[in-house]
Amino acid sequence: MEGYLFWILILQIFFIAYRGRVGYSHGVQKDLQYNPKNQPHRTAYHFQPPKNWMNDPNGPMYYKGIYHLFYQYNPYSAVWGNISWGHSISYNLVDWIHIEQAINPTEPYDINGCWSGSASILPGGNPVILYTGSDFRNRQVQNIAVPKNLSDPYLREWIKSDHNPLMTPMNGIDPQFFRDPTTAWEGPDKIWRVVVGSQIKGHGTALLYQSRDFVNWTRSHRPLHFSNKTAMWECPDFYPVSVDGINGLDTSVQDTGTKHVLKASFNDRDYYIIGTYEPETDTFSVNPDFMDSNVKLRYDYGIFYASKTFYDSAKRRRILWGWVLEADGEPDDINKGWSGLQSLPRSIFLDKTGKQLSQWPIEEIETLRRKEVNLQNKEIKGGTMFEITGITASQADIEVSFHLPNLDEVELMHPEWLDPQFLCSEKNAATGGVIGPFGILALASKDLTEHTAVFFRVFRGHDNYVVLMCSDQNRSSLREEVKKSTFGAFVDVDPVEMISLRSLIDHSIIESFGGEGKTCITARVYPKLAIGNESHVYVFNNGTESIRISNLSAWSMKRAQIFPLHKRRKPEID
């Protein structure tokens, strides 16, 4: 700590000048008021700050009746930099109140940024935050902050400990690869554990630390887990899931009725593995491991990164948040004054098969539904489509169940078709097949020159059917400068029974859930024509075989109420 003491006063003075200089270089943003003409791609019911840059969700928690969401935030512009912890609160995870930043880079151990971390609830119910600081030497170190006033239900002020930094990169840890502490869990020996993401000798690693008092931490002699098939693990997450139902579990639960999930963010994707954790020895056994098999498990097969879960004790569920970054360019972000969304909060639980996780938007999202449209038992012949009318297509929630009456002539699945994303690119929505492509065309212009296709195809494998789910953005926008990706994944469902799709559409984001949440794909799109009331949504079938809609329900979605503390907004009129 000797070197830190010398720099405290100097660096705090320079921080003020540094903050102003960096913020000024990109221009100070004005508060943004939603206007469909000048902000056609700003969302209506996804979480985002009023302005500026946002990335990773940090430290979500439920405390004394209030949900807290922290996030990586640049208070001064719509590009990455000056990273602080933004802070917003909610009573229902739908409507949000923005309050002041919780943690800012003011000390030698975090002067170059207050990076990602997690919240933990200690015995007695007191919350603490562990976060990564980029220090005055650009090393990554782990720090702690606690609420200044526990009687403040909003937890508006946080105090950094005099003991910071608690964990520093020593004994072979690269100071550039040591970040993002997890939520802590308490073992049967009453010792706390936490994982920090790292890269040791080029291998992704979950470093394990232990503490009795949450201040003095000791590195375990071996990591919780590592992989020689990946590099740096960012934003790790480690938590239990029940094998007997969908209820969530507190992070410290360890019993015979649980499995454990380890998530790591790398290669711009969020991968996870499921295994058995032995708390007495701190061993985590998995099969398959990261990147071991053809089926590489991911939370989301689209744009979704640096995610974080938390246990909601009020409703006994585990909730997942993920950063959904932009797919346009930095000049666009500066021009519109903001960058980055959070996904809709999702309940996450172990699937009945025990082989993967399933996700579903939390039930509170349904309170935004209005103007329902419903139809049943509708045949869609090959090469046809129809429009879903009566809803606001740019701000909608659509659930549809498909029944496939004839699987006799289904196409054969070739053994080399192992990469679903490549397969979706080769067999896009415009390429006809036998069973599929079928699904929806979202954020579509009237003449279909713009649309995003979310669809399925069915193939016959060696001894089963294979269902492919795709999200094709190739025709999503007439704008040349935006990314137009194609995403894909296989869905572990039996098409003999039913194939379900739910898509939540919100101006520039489409979150889709296939097979009741077994497979999720999130897309960012920036239409030029299909905006606001000029947007349409269609159900289509480009296969030769007819399919049948067992049930379709669609709703317009109201705007979530998201505003600064003490500022009131008039109720929305339907």
Catalytic residues: 56
**Residue 74: its H or E element:** strand 66-74
SS3 545: coil
Residues 6+ apart with CB under 8 A from 398: 388, 440, 501, 502, 503, 504, 505, 537, 552, 553, 554, 555
**Residue 62: its H or E element:** strand 52-63
Give ∠ CA 466-467-472 in degrees, rounded to 5: 135
d(CA 330, CA 77): 11
Beta strands in 91-153 (DSSP E): 96-103, 114-121, 127-134, 140-147
End-to-end CA distance of the chain: 59
Sheet holding 258-266, edge to edge: 234-242, 258-266, 269-278, 283-286
Residues 6+ apart with CB under 8 A from 547: 379, 380, 402, 403, 404, 405, 435, 438, 541
Is the link from the previous residue into 165 a cis peptide, with omega within 30 of 0?
yes
d(CA 74, CA 183): 23
d(CA 472, CA 485): 7
SS3 392: coil
Whether residue 234 contacts residue 306, with contact meaning beta carbons closer than 8 Å, is answered with yes
d(CA 476, CA 289): 36
